[in-house]
Amino acid sequence: MVAAYAGTGNQVLASRCFLTFCELEEYNLSYNQLTVFPTTPLNVKTLRKFYIQGNNISSFDVNSTTFGQIEDLEDFKADLPSDSAVCSTGQWKSTHGARFCVTDSTTGNSSSGTSPLIFVLFAGIVVVVLLACVLVLQWLTYRKERSSELHSHASGDEHLYSIFNPDFEAHETMRVRLAADPIIVTNRIDYGEVKLGRCISRGGFGLVYVGTYRGRRVAVKKIRVNRDAEASQIEQFIREITLMAMLRHPRIVEFIGVAWEALVDLSAVTELMERGDLSTVLRNCREKGYRLTWSDHKATIALHIVEALAYLHSLSPKVIHRDLKSKNVLLNEEMQAKLSDFGISREHHDVETHMTAGMGTSFWIAPEVLNGQDYDERADVFSFGVVLSELDTDDYPYWDAANQPRSKLQEGEILQLVATGQLRPSFSSSCPAAILEVATRCLQVRPEDRPSATELVRIFQDLVRLELSSNSTDLRASSLSMDSVE
């Protein structure tokens, strides 16, 4: 059964329909501060259960069609109208233990009033059709003018988006998906309230801006939609937004909403992590002569990362991040770490789905993925082991100060050695023994030899409690061994 749940402030908590056209059977809008009775979900033919209790709905006036739809449901729950509520334009009717003022119920057999009503309806339909024709004609004229302008500026300005390109019709399906997906619709916010500032990050097909939304500083991720934009990139972005909307955890970057007016405006609005990504912070601190230590920040950052992984891996079905690296770990003003960038994350079903290849940046990829084998959430644990190397050395894995990057050929050679278990990222000579032991376990070639994210949470909770310092290399590894974990 496909179900959609909405919590306070229209925040979707769980769903499993993603980007397919959902055969929605259950819709829960309880405790959403609604003031008007929501009738739109009742138009979904497959809907069987509908819940709207805990809202501030002041009027339970519905027409007979809506009342019939409610009667046909298997289950319906709503708060009762107050005793002082009046029904002056219809009559009270009850179903599923709730009362409704049915406003257009037939109260007599006279047909004297039907003819004027039919005339009004017919006239309204004619007006709507005429307006639609005018709008279509204006749109076709505008599109033709903009298409000519596009061809006259073939040098390619980034503001000439592909919506004016004749090939843009291929994106029509995605616009329909946006309008039909209950997760997207429930989390939609007003695009006009999202104000963009400077661009702080540029990716292969994405841009991230500092912005504001209702007075709050936010991060706004937009797809780089130009004439070269591919439908697959837009679809991947929509999939990422859908997944972000489902995730709720203190160690996951908070998703605020999705906004758009046209497909080219599609924006994911999240909390702003003021200090940026972990990779940049580590290198900036090193260049300024101030290095973070395991005792002041690094152990806590590692704990935050594995807390996020443990949450993702605990979901049903499990969510595998697939692109864990320091660039995708963001830090706020208090140096708290949160996981971001779910562009290539996937759900993993233990029984029916096998996952192979097609995942994150090469130097963080687990051997089983490099070898084209099936993999599961333990691939994220291997990537975390590489992140521990970055935390310890304040440098890139493999291509660090001692091994400067040279070429794609060298990258291929490195990956071959990683895939066969002959090479692991380096650690500093001052790396605490307990950290090195944990990293070694995470970087095992055989996935079954790696600890789970839940085990890693308990290990790093112990490390943080012990206030492990960068000089505490004499700390006995046995004090953090798996034997001490319940």
Topology of the domain comprising 170-271: Phosphorylase Kinase; domain 1 (3.30.200)
Query: 352 vs 397, which has greater pLDDT?
Result: 397
Separation between Cα atoms, residue 351 and residue 120, nearest integer Å: 58
Mean pLDDT (the chain) is 78
Query: 283 vs 31, which has greater pLDDT?
Result: 283
CA dihedral 408, 410, 416, 419 (to 10 degrees): -80
Beta bridge partners of 14: 5
Percent of the chain at pLDDT > 90 equals 40
Give the CA radius of gyration of the chain.
Answer: 28
List C-alpha distances in Å: 199 to 209, 282, 283, 339, 360: 4, 21, 21, 20, 24
Topology of the domain comprising 276-484: Transferase(Phosphotransferase); domain 1 (1.10.510)
Both tokens of residue 274? 């003021």
Indicate if the pLDDT at residue 110 is higher than 50. Answer: no
Lowest mean pLDDT among 193-202, 245-254, 433-442, 466-475: 466-475
**Of 341-345, 358-362, 458-462, which one has max mean pLDDT?**
458-462
| Cβ neighbourhood burial of 109 (10 Å; 0-12, 13-18, 19+) | exposed
Coil vs helix vs strand at 278 = helix
- Amino acid 398: pLDDT: 86
276-484 shares the fold of 170-271: no
How does 438-453 read in b/e, with b if 16+ C-beta sit within 10 Å?
Answer: bbebbbbbebeebbeb
* Residue 371: pLDDT band with limits 50, 70, 90: very high
pLDDT (tens digit, 9 = 90+) per residue, 58-101? 778 888 888 888 988 888 888 877 777 788 778 888 898 888 88
Angle between the 453-465 and 378-393 helix axes, to the nearest 10 degrees?
Answer: 30
Question: In sequence order, what E strands does 155-291 have?
Answer: 194-202, 206-213, 216-223, 255-259, 267-271, 276-277
pLDDT (tens digit, 9 = 90+) per residue, 146-204? 544 434 433 333 333 444 444 445 566 677 777 778 888 999 999 999 999 999 988 76
- Which sign, positive or negative, has the C-alpha torsion 74, 79, 82, 85? negative
Separation between Cα atoms, residue 113 and residue 466, nearest integer Å: 82
Cβ within 8 Å of residue 92, ≥6 positions away: 99, 100, 101, 102
Pair 222, 230: CB distance under 8 Å: no
CA 283-286-290 angle, to 5 degrees, is 135
Lowest mean pLDDT among 75-84, 167-176, 289-298, 388-397: 167-176
Separation between Cα atoms, residue 269 and residue 254, nearest integer Å: 9
DSSP state of 355: B
pLDDT (tens digit, 9 = 90+) per residue, 330-351? 999 999 999 998 865 555 444 3
Indicate if the pLDDT at residue 11 is higher than 50. Answer: no
- Amino acid 358: pLDDT: 37
Question: In sequence order, what E strands does 171-242 have?
Answer: 194-202, 206-213, 216-223
Cβ within 8 Å of residue 425, ≥6 positions away: 363, 385, 386, 389, 390, 397, 398, 443
Q: What positions carry a catalytic annotation?
A: 323
* Residue 270: pLDDT band with limits 50, 70, 90: very high
Query: 340 vs 138, which has greater pLDDT?
Result: 340
Separation between Cα atoms, residue 78 and residue 101, nearest integer Å: 14
* Residue 227: pLDDT band with limits 50, 70, 90: very low
Determine the average pLDDT of the residues in 124-136: 79
- Amino acid 364: pLDDT: 94
- The string of DSSP letters for 45-63 reads TT--EEE-TTS---B-EE-
Cβ within 8 Å of residue 287, ≥6 positions away: none
Domains in the chain: boundaries: 2-102, 170-271, 276-484
Which H or E run includes 5? strand 2-7
